[in-house]
Structure 1
Amino acid sequence: MHHSTERYHSYTVSPEKQQQIYKRTLIIVVLAQLFGGAGLAAGVTVGALLAKDMLGTDSYGGVPVALLTLGSAAGAYLIGRLSQRSGRRIGLAAGFLTGGIGAAGIVYAAVADSLILLFLAFVIYGAGTATNLQARYAGTDLAKPSQRAKAISVAMVATTFGAVAGPNLVPVMGDFAEARGIPVLAGPFILSAAAFIVAGLVLFALLRPDPLRIAKAISESQKANSDSHPSAARQSLADGRRGIVVGATVMVLTQVVMIAIMTMTPIHMQHHGHGLGAVGLVIGIHIGAMYLPSLFTGILVDKLGRIPMAFAAGVTLLLAGFIAAIAPADSMTLLIAALTLLGLGWNFGLISGTALVVDATTIDNRAKTQGALDVFIAIAGASGGALSGMVVAGASYAALAISGSVLSLLLIPVGLWYRSGKTRT
């Protein structure tokens, strides 16, 4: 470990160099996320429809999303561990490349008409989704505390471009696939495979020096030069635990609500006679709302504070669920409004929750903790996706939307509990 401190010595003593690498890291993460976002979008848009076609029934529409999420949970855990040990470059590159292999597997499964292979490939494809999410942490390794939420949001804004282009390329990729004798719905995954692999190669080639390794070296040289008070250390540990719990809860709740409503909207729309183009438009706008406001959100989270923005997430999701519940199925305007708010509420929750976690972790456990928490986010998403189909089948889309908005109100007491802990200390 000490040789790394020597290797990065020039960075540990020079704040200017740290800020240089911080900026460079952000640029490279942005570049990778432009591609990563495109790889992500296909699965969300047509995964459920592809499975429905191959299974010949609606009732398992949630399965691909659940498997994808299962894969992203496993991916998040492994990428977090790998990053902690070998740095962000190796962790993130490995994740994207694995996701690319999974996407290629989905295309192959559709051609071979093999369900088992399809389901397996969806799990592997999930690694790409996990990496897309974990990349938001890479920018924070060398960020000052007052830059953290902004660093998270820059990585997320970059995802927007690909994530919005993705669903809109669905028809194009469908035609491309059909011309080659590949099932239409597998087309978007050809794009995914290429996009994830390019994102992985960009990170592998360019993300050096590694931001996490430099951050570790800085932390080690600070430890060597300081002698901290044990009671202060204990106090910060307790604050840290509370911050991790609250940050995780905020991210998990927003994820459940968002995924549940988002998963069933394309199926709800198809049942009411909307075509693939309309579905693509609504989901495209929704994904835009998930990522595009990030820059403003990041600035707000750094300026107004983590908890006020978590409250804002709860209120926004409440509104989204309410509008989705009362919207007539033929009203594109109201469906778009509901899914825009749904994306925005998720954005507020993810950035404020992520910032809470970064604030609460130290460099020695940061990547590992982030990976572990993303597992919970993924599992929350999986259960939200799987249960959403059952709720809609058993009750209705409106019932699902209302239960989502009620759930989002839990963010208020969680935030208040965090604050009560802060004031006591």
Structure 2
Amino acid sequence: MGHPGARGVPRGHGRGGSAVRGPAHRTAVAAVSDVQAVRSVQRHTVRTLVASQVAGGLGISAAIAVGAVVVTEVFGREDLSGLVQSAQVLGAALLAMPAASLAVSYGRRVGLGVAYALGAVGALIALVATELEVFPLLLLGTALLGGGTAAGLQARYAATDLAPAGGRGRALSVVVWSTTVGAVAGPNLAGPAGDLASSLGIEPLAGPFLLGVVVLGIGAVVILAGLRPDPLLTARELGSASGDPPVRRRGVLRAGWTAITASPPAVLGLLAVVVGHTVMVTVMVMTPVHMTHGGASISVIGFVISVHVAGMYALSPVMGWLADRVGRVPVILGGVLVLLASVALAGTAHEGHSPGLTAGLFLLGLGWSACMVAGSTLLTDAVEAADRPAVQGASDLLMGLAAAGGGALAGIVVGSFGYGVLNASAAVLLAAPVAAMLIPACRSLSNTRSA
């Protein structure tokens, strides 16, 4: 079996060594069955995904960085400023399943490409909304911007489609790591983007939205033009040759949820991703408020958040290597322990700035990285290939909804009880993945004793 005459797939690897000919996708399946050809396609896939992640990360981080400021300065409604980020997070969650459904039916190239394109359209709508000062339109635009986030999240799974089981963690983590470039550089481009917008007669604060239109559009083009052969379709055709079960094209969310609940390791992977992400978001979003109450300057707050972002992404390849070498479950357990240490440090830090708070935020990012990389890899390992896109979409949907809910409740908790109670509540959430690890072990021990 083989794959369409694509970049990285050598000709002449079919039976008898003859050149492969025929329709674009089906004709090269025989070539891709060659181990070296599969590796070549996988390397090309990861490079393409990394390039799209850099572009997408720039657009999302730049646009979201100024969203609250736009509401405050342009619309004069500071009380509504938090809705912009909430709309983006909800948009990313709600677009996760449509993107996964497209991937199930048409492959990763279409699923990711359409999601990035929706992000670019969202940035354009947000730009127009800022110019016209129409707040509901701004919320619509930022919700569609979530398409870029949904694409960035599902890109990590696309890196595993053709990766060998022992290399999935590393492949996934490299794509996660590439987000660092956009996440760090994007907010720093807000100023130059504002200058460019001003020179074009556009509201300067809308400049990052203009940047988002361009770079998210580039991300869509990179995927649509460059993700050939499609890794999911290639893996599916190779699986068909091996007798794998057929793909379920209807009821994608239900199929994903059924596959997860039928597998205890998949449940653990899901909990690691959802709980780790929710803990990270709830603590991170309220840290600037806690620091502001103690008189910390904007530059100091920015430094602490930068340290946190470095913890999230900079060491993700190490987490991928550990997940492949040591195992998914030990890395998840390590991530949970690191998150517990982070909320202990952050929750006991005084208002303003302190070394303990900075260390806590770094560990918050590091624990998130371990849970995200190892949990996502375990989730992929634990289900059949035919169910993976649906399972991955369901995971991103639940992760986004939980984080949006956690972020909304975080403000209420801090306002009513304080930052320390928020961190203590986050620690309680971490009991869920620990229980998912311990319950099967206890059942196994009980069965052994009864036997």
Fold similarity call, TM over 0.5: yes
- 1:30 to 1:421, Cα distance in 2 relative to 1, 3 A: farther
The within-5 A match list for 1:85-96 is: 85-96=105-116
Per-residue deviation at 1:247? 1.1
User: Equivalent residue of 2:263, what SS?
Assistant: helix
Kindly indicate whether residue 54 of structure 2 is the aligned counterpart of residue 34 of structure 1. Answer: yes
Higher RCO (CA-CA < 8 Å; seq separation 6+): 1
Identify the match of residue 399 of structure 2 among 377, 381, 390: 377
User: Equivalent residue of 1:361, what SS?
Assistant: coil
Q: What is the CA–CA distance in structure 1 between the aligned matches of 2:214 and 2:225, rounded to whole Å?
A: 16
Is residue 310–residue 415 contact of structure 1 (8 Å, CA) maintained in 2?
no
The within-5 A match list for 1:86-235 is: 86-177=106-197, 182-183=202-203, 185-223=205-243
Report the equivalent of 2:272.
250
Q: What is the CA–CA distance in structure 2 between the aligned matches of 1:31 and 1:41, rounded to whole Å?
A: 16
Query: Residue 31 of structure 1 aligns to which amino acid in structure 2?
Result: A
- 1:362 to 1:192, Cα distance in 2 relative to 1, 3 A: same
Q: What is the CA–CA distance in structure 1 between the aligned matches of 2:331 and 2:209, rounded to whole Å?
A: 35
Identify the match of residue 379 of structure 2 among 357, 360, 366: 357
Report the equivalent of 1:302.
324
Per-residue deviation at 1:55? 6.1
Per-residue deviation at 1:152? 0.5
Identify the match of residue 289 of structure 1 among 293, 308, 311: 311
Kindly indicate whether residue 90 of structure 2 is the aligned counterpart of residue 70 of structure 1. Answer: yes
Q: Which has the higher helix share?
A: 1
Q: What is the CA–CA distance in structure 1 between the aligned matches of 2:109 and 2:167, rounded to whole Å?
A: 21
The within-5 A match list for 1:73-84 is: 73-84=93-104
- 1:5 to 1:171, Cα distance in 2 relative to 1, 3 A: closer
Kindly indicate whether residue 386 of structure 2 is the aligned counterpart of residue 335 of structure 1. Answer: no
Report the equivalent of 1:233.
none
Is residue 57–residue 181 contact of structure 2 (8 Å, CA) maintained in 1?
yes
**Any idea what the Cα deviations from partners look like across 1:229-259, whole Å, max 9, x if unmatched?**
xxxxxxxx89962222221111110111111
Is residue 300–residue 353 contact of structure 2 (8 Å, CA) maintained in 1?
no
Q: Name the stretch that deviates more: 52-61 or 282-291.
A: 52-61
Report the equivalent of 2:20.
none
- 1:13 to 1:381, Cα distance in 2 relative to 1, 3 A: same
In our comparison, the structure showing a higher alpha carbon Rg is 2
Report the equivalent of 2:430.
408
Query: Residue 314 of structure 2 aligns to which amino acid in structure 1?
Result: L
Report the equivalent of 2:249.
none
Q: What is the CA–CA distance in structure 2 between the aligned matches of 1:245 and 1:341, rounded to whole Å?
A: 24
Query: Residue 373 of structure 2 aligns to which amino acid in structure 1?
Result: I
Structure 2, unmatched stretches of 5+, are 3-22, 246-258
**Any idea what the Cα deviations from partners look like across 1:307-352, whole Å, max 9, x if unmatched?**
1111111111112222222223332544332221111111111111
Q: What is the CA–CA distance in structure 2 between the aligned matches of 1:340 and 1:351, rounded to whole Å?
A: 17
Q: What is the CA–CA distance in structure 2 between the aligned matches of 1:418 and 1:16, rounded to whole Å?
A: 39
User: Equivalent residue of 1:33, what SS?
Assistant: helix
User: Equivalent residue of 1:40, what SS?
Assistant: helix
Query: Residue 368 of structure 2 aligns to which amino acid in structure 1?
Result: W
Q: What is the CA–CA distance in structure 2 between the aligned matches of 1:64 and 1:242, rounded to whole Å?
A: 36
- 1:422 to 1:194, Cα distance in 2 relative to 1, 3 A: farther
Is residue 75–residue 130 contact of structure 1 (8 Å, CA) maintained in 2?
yes
Report the equivalent of 2:6.
none
- 1:335 to 1:195, Cα distance in 2 relative to 1, 3 A: farther
Q: What is the CA–CA distance in structure 1 between the aligned matches of 2:192 and 2:364, rounded to whole Å?
A: 27
Q: Name the stretch that deviates more: 401-410 or 366-375.
A: 401-410
Identify the match of residue 280 of structure 1 among 292, 295, 302: 302
Q: What is the CA–CA distance in structure 1 between the aligned matches of 2:129 and 2:441, rounded to whole Å?
A: 50
Is residue 290–residue 352 contact of structure 2 (8 Å, CA) maintained in 1?
no
Q: What is the CA–CA distance in structure 1 between the aligned matches of 2:409 and 2:83, rounded to whole Å?
A: 10
Identify the match of residue 264 of structure 1 among 283, 286, 295: 286
Number of matched pairs = 414
**Any idea what the Cα deviations from partners look like across 1:355-398, whole Å, max 9, x if unmatched?**
11110122212112211211001101111111112112222223
Structure 1, unmatched stretches of 5+, are 226-236
Q: What is the CA–CA distance in structure 2 between the aligned matches of 1:308 and 1:409, rounded to whole Å?
A: 16
Is residue 267–residue 436 contact of structure 2 (8 Å, CA) maintained in 1?
no
**Any idea what the Cα deviations from partners look like across 1:392-416, whole Å, max 9, x if unmatched?**
2222223222222332243322222
Report the equivalent of 2:255.
none
Q: What is the CA–CA distance in structure 2 between the aligned matches of 1:405 and 1:177, rounded to whole Å?
A: 44
Q: What is the CA–CA distance in structure 1 between the aligned matches of 2:413 and 2:202, rounded to whole Å?
A: 33
Q: What is the CA–CA distance in structure 1 between the aligned matches of 2:443 and 2:237, rounded to whole Å?
A: 32
TM-score between the two structures when normalised by the length of structure 1? 0.89
Report the equivalent of 2:253.
none
Q: Name the stretch that deviates more: 320-329 or 364-373.
A: 320-329
